[in-house]
Chain A
Amino acid sequence: MNHTVETTIDTREGGFFASLIGFMKKGGWLILLSLGFFLLGAFLNDGFAFAQEAGGSAMAEYRDIPYLGSRNAIWIVAQLHILFAGFVLGVPMFALTCEYIGYKTGDVRYDKLAKEFTKLLTASFGTTATFGAILLFLLVGMYPKLFNYLSGIFFPTFVLYSFLFILETVVLYIYWYGWDYMAGRKKLHLFMGLLLNLVGLAIMWTADAWLSFQASPVVLSDSMGYWQKLWAAVHNPTWNPVNIHRVIGNVVLGGFMCGAYAGIRYLGAKTKEEREHYDWMGYIGNFIGTFGLLPLPFAGYWLMREVYEYNQQMGITLMGGILSWLFILQAIQIGVLFLGVNYYFWQGLAHRARVEARYKKYILAMITTLILCFGVWLTPHSLVASLSEARAMGGTHHPLLGVFGVMSAKLTVVNLMILTTFISFILYWRANQESTVSWAKAARIFQYILFTVAVIVVIALGVYGYYVPAVVRVKILSTLQVLVVLFVLITVTPLTALSLKSAKITGTMTWGVMPVRSQYVLVSNGIMVILIMTLMGYVRSASRVHFHIYGVLRDTSPYAFTPPIGFAAVLMASTTFMFCLIVLFIFWVAGLSDKAQKKLASSTNVLEPLEVKD
């Protein structure tokens, strides 16, 4: 019956408008946009600069775009592509996790949540691909010298990439369109989700080879065979650190984007049920995002360490040269993110669990710790000071604050912030639950001791770091700090899970009562993650300075300079805003089918009596 009506309605509405929506949902609007750009380009053909194209037969090394500039065009499109790519890879991880939890616990809300987000995938997948195609066209057109060089080494991986992309498309369609069909064969559907993630990761790792090679190329001697050269280029020193960093980063992006989406929908919710649903969704998104956020700095640290190992000069340019101020901006972003994450947890304790009074003193201690750590983290190594101020300080290093501007202090406070956030995470997890296992008290005492010892060890190692050579600090002490914090994370997480497995519920968790400000925090967290991605993407690219391929292929275009930080920040902020607008558009387009379904349901109600009469 429903099927009949659905067909009827599809036929009734399935003219040009339905086709257009379908087309646009699959990223077709971007194809139209690209076509527009192409036509504009053709119109401006006379303005295109082929300055370095010598004669008709010689190959051009660069081409330019008037007003915008080829580098800015590549910059914007590459960042949009990578943000969507992160979204497209992060969301399946998020969806699979939620679907698996739903399968194991029998809680259908998780399955619904996973499905709701997979629906967004179908819309954003095409958008990602379209931006990827524009990026490719721009690279081929504007930077033929670079593209030619990369093709000479990596061409087989281009073929592999294309194959993987087709596979990803097929698996995504099976995963999405087979959701209801495979409801009775959930394991098979979960397997498809796993496959979707694996293929997605393979795509990302393939692309990572190209970009990491640009930053850390290896010697490809003539004595090496073709495939040997290819593997050496792929398996360059920063490939694996970038791979791992991006995997974890995508989990974080998926989680916080879910949180931001839920926050926006919560703000627009009209019914109690909607508020409850989106409040719960925001909680899950924040939970998973935080879970990924905690180990993310360690992956970043590993990447930077490999950069230093690979080339001291590049490391110095990043951490001590012109780009070092970007890390102060990063500290601000991550600091705001950590504060936002914790604030959301505390709001949950106050409003959902209603246990604020019990944890008030802990929250006060945690917020004090976070703010102090934040302050230390964003203290620059050398201050921007006037001549008189510099004279008063005896140099650009502040006599007191200068102590906090060094890596030993910064790494210590980062670890402390991670530990503090983890405590918030655990407190929220345990709220309104009382462990019933016999060893609950022992486990709790063990956790107290573990946290105390970890904090003392992290601080002690940080202080000791001032008295040892840099090489000892970088290679031994910082690694030890990381290992201590990681040990706490991987010990306390399963311990808490086990102790709460058959816990007694001591209070109700009320959904849909979170204040409006908490939802804006969710949006802020999402924006911060996107901004961090744009910033660190720029940092990674700028670390090559005036080289397309560091030390190997010099950038001889007019855009080989490193722009001022303010310009870069304005461009990054603009790109982020563009991304947000497009994502909002996708949310809106994806929401159209919900409206259609509601309409369908109301039509069904109207038509059913007619069916009975017949």
Chain B
Amino acid sequence: MYILKVLIFVASILSGFAYIALQIPQEVSMPPQEEKFDAAKVKTVDDIVDIGQKIFFGKGQCALCHALGGGTSGRCPNLGGENPVGIKLTREFEYETYTNPEAYVYIDYTDSPPKRFAARMPEINKPPIGLTEPEMLTVFAFLQKNSGTVEITPEEVIALANPHKKEAGASPAFVAAVEVIPMGDSVSGKAVFEKLECGGCHKIGTLSGGDKGPDLLPALNTKEISVVRSAIFEKSDHHGSYEEKATVKEMKDLLSYLVGLKEVKKGVDGA
């Protein structure tokens, strides 16, 4: 008899558990369709935006974390709202946030006090999301549409989707970005140094500059390049954020310029 009581007790616990679970919204999560990007369907800008929208809410899984307008309590930055990302960010920056989000994505898009993302963004060109470059470009077109103007053209998307045209020298913006971003150009970096008026506050060894900020040479000689990079790219109390003043490419050029100076100055100092 006591065994029967125990069994009834166990069944009651399990039924209670199942009952509670049944009170929660019942959703079935279907696997995303394996849609092949079909360049032949791209005729107009609206076609690109439509594809981008589907990817944003589907395969790309962007909507899982990002909102497009509304409140600011989302897990990750709101990509719409009063200051939508589509008109604010360059293609290079956008491409980098998709493919290498750990690099500089920590800078917030909003004008509110900076905050880091509550959840880090996955590399969406790799599994399990694995968007192709034309697909990413359509997502960006969709975000631009939410900002008002779409700069991306059907020709760009078609060219990016067509490997023969790519080899033939067609230069879709995203491909160009891939080639330029990882390296940085120290010559261009000098122009960025002047554009941002870094020399107004900093001198670098024997190179003249202001004295409001520290001499950069000791830091360049002793710190890891990643530390220098963070000091330049991340917003600080001293020089704010550069996100509105320079593109990511320019910032990389600047970094290349400074790293080059370190080597030159070492030689000068040692002479």
The contact of A546 among B14, B17, B32, by CB within 8 Å, is: B32
- Leading 9 A-B pairs by shortest Cβ distance: A551-B127, A569-B21, A469-B116, A546-B31, A564-B26, A566-B22, A562-B29, A573-B14, A551-B128
Known A-B contacts A311-B122, A527-B14; A561 and B31 likewise in contact (beta carbons under 8 Å): yes
Min CB distance, A172 to chain B, in Å? 28
Alpha-carbon gap, A566 to B19, bound state (A): 8
Central interface residue in B2, B10, B30, B75, by most chain A CB within 10 Å: B10
Convert A410-431 into 0s and 1s, putting 1 for each residue whose CB lies closer than 8 angstroms to a CB of B: 0000000000000000000000
Identify 23 residue pairs between A and B in the complex whose beta-carbon atoms are under 8 Å apart, listed by A's number: A264-B2, A264-B3, A267-B6, A312-B120, A313-B122, A313-B128, A329-B20, A333-B17, A397-B73, A469-B115, A520-B6, A523-B10, A527-B14, A547-B128, A551-B128, A560-B31, A561-B28, A561-B29, A563-B28, A565-B27, A569-B20, A572-B17, A573-B14
Decide: A523 and B9 in contact? CB cutoff 8 A.
Answer: yes
Min CB distance, A311 to chain B, in Å? 7
The contact of A520 among B9, B26, B28, B127, by CB within 8 Å, is: B9
The stretch of A9-17, A318-326, A368-376 that contacts the partner chain:
A318-326
Given pairs A397-B73, A561-B30, 15 additional interface contacts (CB within 8 A): A267-B2, A316-B75, A317-B64, A320-B65, A325-B24, A469-B115, A470-B119, A472-B116, A527-B13, A528-B13, A531-B17, A567-B26, A569-B17, A577-B11, A580-B7
Decide: A313 and B61 in contact? CB cutoff 8 A.
Answer: yes
Decide: A562 and B28 in contact? CB cutoff 8 A.
Answer: yes
Min CB distance, B166 to chain A, in Å? 25
Answer yes or no: A552 CB below 8 A from chain B CBs: yes
Answer yes or no: B57 CB below 8 A from chain A CBs: no
Answer yes or no: B117 CB below 8 A from chain A CBs: yes
Answer yes or no: B169 CB below 8 A from chain A CBs: no
Decide: B13 and A566 in contact? CB cutoff 8 A.
Answer: no
Answer yes or no: A584 CB below 8 A from chain B CBs: yes
Answer yes or no: A22 CB below 8 A from chain B CBs: no
Convert A7-36 into 0s and 1s, putting 1 for each residue whose CB lies closer than 8 angstroms to a CB of B: 000000000000000000000000000000
Answer yes or no: A515 CB below 8 A from chain B CBs: no
Central interface residue in B28, B64, B65, B120, by most chain A CB within 10 Å: B120
Min CB distance, A22 to chain B, in Å? 24
Contacts of B120 in A (CB 8 A): 308, 312, 471
Known A-B contacts A322-B27, A546-B32, A547-B128; A570 and B116 likewise in contact (beta carbons under 8 Å): no
Closest to A267 in B: B2
Answer yes or no: A568 CB below 8 A from chain B CBs: yes
Decide: B22 and A569 in contact? CB cutoff 8 A.
Answer: yes
Alpha-carbon gap, A561 to B5, bound state (A): 38
Contacts of B30 in A (CB 8 A): 561
Q: Which chain A residues (362-403) contact chain B, with CB distance < 8 Å?
A: 384, 394-395, 397
Convert A561-593 into 0s and 1s, putting 1 for each residue whose CB lies closer than 8 angstroms to a CB of B: 111111111101110110011001000000000
Alpha-carbon gap, A332 to B65, bound state (A): 26
Central interface residue in B15, B21, B27, B31, by most chain A CB within 10 Å: B21
The contact of B122 among A267, A312, A562, by CB within 8 Å, is: A312
Min CB distance, A72 to chain B, in Å? 15
Answer yes or no: B129 CB below 8 A from chain A CBs: yes
Contacts of A312 in B (CB 8 A): 119-122
Answer yes or no: A315 CB below 8 A from chain B CBs: yes
Min CB distance, B71 to chain A, in Å? 6
Decide: B26 and A545 in contact? CB cutoff 8 A.
Answer: no
Answer yes or no: B25 CB below 8 A from chain A CBs: yes
Decide: A577 and B20 in contact? CB cutoff 8 A.
Answer: no
Answer yes or no: B271 CB below 8 A from chain A CBs: no
Contacts of B21 in A (CB 8 A): 329, 565-566, 568-570
Convert A457-473 into 0s and 1s, putting 1 for each residue whose CB lies closer than 8 angstroms to a CB of B: 00000000000011110
Answer yes or no: B118 CB below 8 A from chain A CBs: yes
The contact of A545 among B17, B22, B31, B65, by CB within 8 Å, is: B31
Known A-B contacts A551-B128, A565-B24; A320 and B6 likewise in contact (beta carbons under 8 Å): no
- The interface on chain B, measured as residues whose beta carbon lies within 8 A of the other chain's beta carbons, has a size of 45
Contacts of B6 in A (CB 8 A): 264, 267, 520, 523
The contact of A395 among B64, B71, B121, by CB within 8 Å, is: B71
Answer yes or no: B40 CB below 8 A from chain A CBs: no
Alpha-carbon gap, A576 to B22, bound state (A): 17
Contacts of A568 in B (CB 8 A): 21
Contacts of A332 in B (CB 8 A): 17, 20
Alpha-carbon gap, A561 to B117, bound state (A): 29
Decide: A471 and B116 in contact? CB cutoff 8 A.
Answer: yes
Answer yes or no: B264 CB below 8 A from chain A CBs: no
Convert A530-559 into 0s and 1s, putting 1 for each residue whose CB lies closer than 8 angstroms to a CB of B: 010000000000000111001110110000
Known A-B contacts A566-B21, A569-B21; A322 and B15 likewise in contact (beta carbons under 8 Å): no
Contacts of B14 in A (CB 8 A): 527, 531, 573-574, 576-577
Decide: A321 and B64 in contact? CB cutoff 8 A.
Answer: yes
Known A-B contacts A469-B116, A555-B31; A577 and B10 likewise in contact (beta carbons under 8 Å): yes
Closest to A329 in B: B21
Q: Which chain A residues (326-378) contact chain B, with CB distance < 8 Å?
A: 328-329, 332-333
Contacts of B117 in A (CB 8 A): 469-470
Known A-B contacts A397-B73, A562-B28; A573 and B15 likewise in contact (beta carbons under 8 Å): yes
Answer yes or no: B231 CB below 8 A from chain A CBs: no
Alpha-carbon gap, A157 to B162, bound state (A): 44
Answer yes or no: A214 CB below 8 A from chain B CBs: no
Closest to A311 in B: B122
Answer yes or no: B18 CB below 8 A from chain A CBs: yes
Contacts of B128 in A (CB 8 A): 311, 313-314, 545, 547, 550-551
Alpha-carbon gap, A384 to B24, bound state (A): 8
Q: Which chain B residues (160-208) contact chain A, with CB distance < 8 Å?
A: none
Contacts of A236 in B (CB 8 A): none
Contacts of A315 in B (CB 8 A): 119
Alpha-carbon gap, A567 to B249, bound state (A): 51
Alpha-carbon gap, A471 to B121, bound state (A): 12
Min CB distance, B193 to chain A, in Å? 29
Decide: A580 and B119 in contact? CB cutoff 8 A.
Answer: no
Min CB distance, B142 to chain A, in Å? 20
Decide: A320 and B119 in contact? CB cutoff 8 A.
Answer: yes
The contact of A573 among B18, B27, B116, B118, by CB within 8 Å, is: B18
Alpha-carbon gap, A472 to B115, bound state (A): 11
Contacts of A333 in B (CB 8 A): 17
Contacts of A313 in B (CB 8 A): 61, 122, 128-129
Alpha-carbon gap, A561 to B56, bound state (A): 20
Decide: B64 and A316 in contact? CB cutoff 8 A.
Answer: yes
Contacts of A321 in B (CB 8 A): 64
Alpha-carbon gap, A321 to B127, bound state (A): 18
Contacts of B9 in A (CB 8 A): 520, 523-524
